[in-house]
A and B are shown apart, each in its own frame.
Chain A
Amino acid sequence: MAKKTTIIPVGPYHPLQEEPEFFKLYVEGEKVVGLDIELGYNHRGVEKLSEGKDYEETIFLVERVCGICSTSHPIACVQAIEEAGDLEVPQRALYIRSLIGELERIHSHLLWLGLAGHFLGFNTVWMWAWRYREEVLNICEQVTGNRNHYGMLKPGGVRRDVPATEISAIRKMLDTLSSPLDLFRDTVAEDPLIQARTRGIGTLTPQQIRKFAAVGPTARASGVDIDVRRDHPHAAYGMVEWDVVLESRGDIFDKIMVRIGEMFQSVRIIRQCLSRLETEPGPIDSHPKEVKPGEGIGHYEAPRGEVFHYIRSDGSNRPVRHKIRAPSYMNVPTNREAVIGETIADATIILAAVDPCYCCTERMAAVLDPETDRVLISGKELLQRSRRKTAWLRSQLGHEGPDLKWDC
């Protein structure tokens, strides 16, 4: 007897995650047999906006690609600008970049841990994790001036120094954070209920990880040893000691353990950065005057995986092409492999396990109607509309700009 397939629509506005996205779960009884992900509710056209902003403004724009990766994107972007324009960066600025980046990693992983607890039905974990996250946010506010969008980065250095008074405050916060981190590690590792809900659920094999080119903790939980901080050293990661956290089984439990392990490594990196900041005074900014023509790329290991930025400069004060690839773009499709064959009750935690970030991921692509394969709207068409508008504006202003023709 042929089984009947039911479609369960999830979203786009639903209590599961705070961002709008639309999942179509195909189920046979309790078993998930298929998954469709529809995005586009978050597309803001950041890459195009970036071409209209100068290099300093671009940093503020890419900060707002994602509220949680609000240091990862700027670090990758300034590195791309620095490579394109061949700019110098003082060493002290590199340490400050790593320091802020690792503070962000701690609060991002605590946030995910809390949400994972929330999806599993452990609201206590949610409340506790977010309570300790507040300590990190307080320090971020003290050091940078804002709880989330830090505005610390600029091409050629950083905007604000970290003086000695704040170094001692960060140390104090790390001391108070160590016992909660131990608590989370022990609780998750020993709690029989968390084990029962996460062991062997949503397993991804290394082959599947390579097939989807997944990155970050999602890949490391399956034993795929990639970490841009070690593979392409940037900021201060080549100058401090730390380890890549690896697990082997690739289930949800290992994804939790990788993220908890990374928080301990982040604390280790921050402590080393702080002692270097104390002993090595120096300038924090090289005050670059111009960005030479050229092209450059920048990587950063965001809490969710590798962030990649590409900048092409023509020697003017703004990029002519800016390309962003965020980690969730690679990680979200793995849901399709992980969720099929599991039950509906486990679908929520599996969909959340890659720590999806849709605001990073959104980009315009061809949208196909699944039944007729008809293109509803294509990326090319949108780009043409945008270019037509620029051309029209140019003719209105009587401004003859460079004739830019690339294949996108």
Chain B
Amino acid sequence: MSKKNKFLSRSLFLFHLGGSACNNCDIEILDALTPKYDLERFGIIAVGSIRHADIILLSGIFNKKAAIRARRLYEQAPKPVIVLAIGGCACSGLIFRDSYNWDEPVGNYVPIDAYVAGCPPKPEAIIAAITQVIDKLQHPAPAGADR
């Protein structure tokens, strides 16, 4: 966490990586950037390229075709990077976990810093997750302390 703590302390760039989602988490993420919730007040802005990303938001299940791309995109991201799984599908597969086109949760092949449950999680929950992760990075708990 120490490296993350050093490099990820200013305005962060957010990249949204939608898997085989039902589109709802994706729209709630965009919603968090619009005037009512306004994630930009924390200095966070959405960027179009993974090469600029400080935060990656994963949404939806990643089917067999999308999982390969998700792994490759994570490899292309500059490190250190914060990865958040948005929504029940990204966390566990939810209602699609029995699908023939899905193998395992995205957390098995992309290291994830925080999980946001919900179907879909509200923009408030997404903002809370992002700000809490940033807060943890800036004020790390002393060694041995209970998280």
Interface residues of A (CB under 8 A from B): 12-15, 18-20, 40-45, 48-49, 52, 60-61, 64-68, 70, 111, 126-127, 130-131, 134, 147-149, 357, 359, 362, 382, 385-386, 389
Contact partners of B95 in chain A: CB under 8 A: 49, 60-61, 64
Question: Is B85 positioned at the interface, with any CB of A under 8 Å from its CB?
Answer: no
CA distance in complex: A14, B50 (Å): 9
The listed residue (B16, B27, B47) touching A111 by CB distance below 8 A is B27
A128 to chain B, nearest CB (A): 8
- Taking a contact as CB atoms under 8 Å apart, the answer to whether B27 and A44 are in contact is no
Which of B5-13, B99-107, B108-116, B136-144 forms part of the interface with chain A?
Answer: B99-107
Interface residues of B (CB under 8 A from A): 16-31, 34-36, 46-50, 61, 63, 65-66, 69, 73, 94-96, 98-102, 119-120, 122
- Given the interface pairs A48-B100, A130-B31, the reply to whether A18 lies near B26 with Cβ below 8 Å is yes
- Taking a contact as CB atoms under 8 Å apart, the answer to whether B120 and A67 are in contact is yes
13 A-B residue contacts at CB 8 Å?
A12-B66, A19-B26, A20-B18, A44-B61, A45-B96, A67-B21, A67-B22, A67-B23, A70-B24, A130-B34, A130-B36, A147-B122, A359-B22
B19 to chain A, nearest CB (A): 7
- Taking a contact as CB atoms under 8 Å apart, the answer to whether B35 and A41 are in contact is no
- Given the interface pairs A15-B48, A44-B61, A67-B23, the reply to whether A49 lies near B96 with Cβ below 8 Å is yes
B19, B50, B101, B120 pick with most chain A CB within 10 angstroms: B101
- Taking a contact as CB atoms under 8 Å apart, the answer to whether B22 and A66 are in contact is yes
Q: Closest chain A residue to B94 by CB distance?
A: A64
A362 to chain B, nearest CB (A): 8
B30 to chain A, nearest CB (A): 7
- Taking a contact as CB atoms under 8 Å apart, the answer to whether B22 and A130 are in contact is no
Contact partners of B35 in chain A: CB under 8 A: 127, 130-131
- Taking a contact as CB atoms under 8 Å apart, the answer to whether B66 and A41 are in contact is yes
CA distance in complex: A377, B59 (Å): 26
B47 to chain A, nearest CB (A): 8
- Taking a contact as CB atoms under 8 Å apart, the answer to whether B20 and A18 are in contact is no
- Taking a contact as CB atoms under 8 Å apart, the answer to whether B119 and A149 are in contact is yes
- Taking a contact as CB atoms under 8 Å apart, the answer to whether B22 and A65 are in contact is yes
Contact partners of B29 in chain A: CB under 8 A: 18
Contact partners of A148 in chain B: CB under 8 A: 24, 27-28, 120
A354 to chain B, nearest CB (A): 15
Contact partners of A44 in chain B: CB under 8 A: 20, 61, 63, 96, 99, 101-102
B111 to chain A, nearest CB (A): 19
B21, B49, B61, B120 pick with most chain A CB within 10 angstroms: B21
CA distance in complex: A130, B23 (Å): 16
Contact partners of B17 in chain A: CB under 8 A: 13
10 A-B pairs with least C-beta separation: A67-B24, A15-B48, A18-B26, A130-B34, A67-B23, A45-B99, A42-B20, A67-B22, A41-B66, A64-B22
B104 to chain A, nearest CB (A): 15
CA distance in complex: A229, B20 (Å): 30
- Taking a contact as CB atoms under 8 Å apart, the answer to whether B27 and A40 are in contact is no
- Taking a contact as CB atoms under 8 Å apart, the answer to whether B100 and A14 are in contact is no
